[in-house]
Amino acid sequence: MTPGQKDFPNCPVRKAMTLIGSKWKVLLLQSLRDGRLRYGELLRRLPDISEKMLIHELKELVAVGLVAKHAYPEIPPRVEYWLTESGQQALPVVDSIVVFGRQHL
C-alpha cells in the first residue's frame, strides 16, 4: 500500500484516480474508445507523449485490466491494444472530462 491508502482503503475516488488518474491514461482511453489500435497509431494520436511514457502507461492499463493487448508473432512486431469491458466502463468518466474541458476552453 502506498501512503494514504492505508488511511482510506475503501475510498472510491482514490481507487478511480489510481486506475485512470494520469492525463496520459485518460487520453489513451479516449483514443481506444473506437476499437483496436496499434502502438504506432497511439504514438501518432498522442504526439507529445514519449515512447517510454506510452509503454509505461499502456503496461499499467493492461495490468489493471482496463486495456487488453495482443502481440502478433511477426517481424516486425505488431501489437494491438483495445479497451476491455472494464475499460469501456471508464468511458463515461472520460466523456465527463471532455464536456468539462469544452466548457473551459
Q: What is the mean pLDDT of each run of 10 residues along the chain (105 residues)?
A: 61 87 94 95 96 96 97 91 97 94 92
Nearest alpha-carbon partner for 48 in 25, 24, 22, 31: 24
CATH of domain 22-103: 1.10.10.10
Of 44, 33, 23, 40, the C-alpha closest to 82 is: 33
Dihedral (Cα; 50, 82, 20, 100), 10-degree rounding: 90
Cell of 38: 496499434
What pLDDT, on a 0 to 100 scale, did the predictor assign at position 31?
A: 97
Q: By C-alpha distance, which of 57, 56, 64 is closest to 85? A: 64
What global pTM score does this model have? 0.86
At 95 the three-state DSSP class reads: helix
3-state DSSP helix/strand/coil % of the chain, to nearest 5: 55, 15, 30
Q: What are phi and psi of 19, to 5 degrees?
A: -75, -45
Residue ranges per structural domain of the chain: 22-103
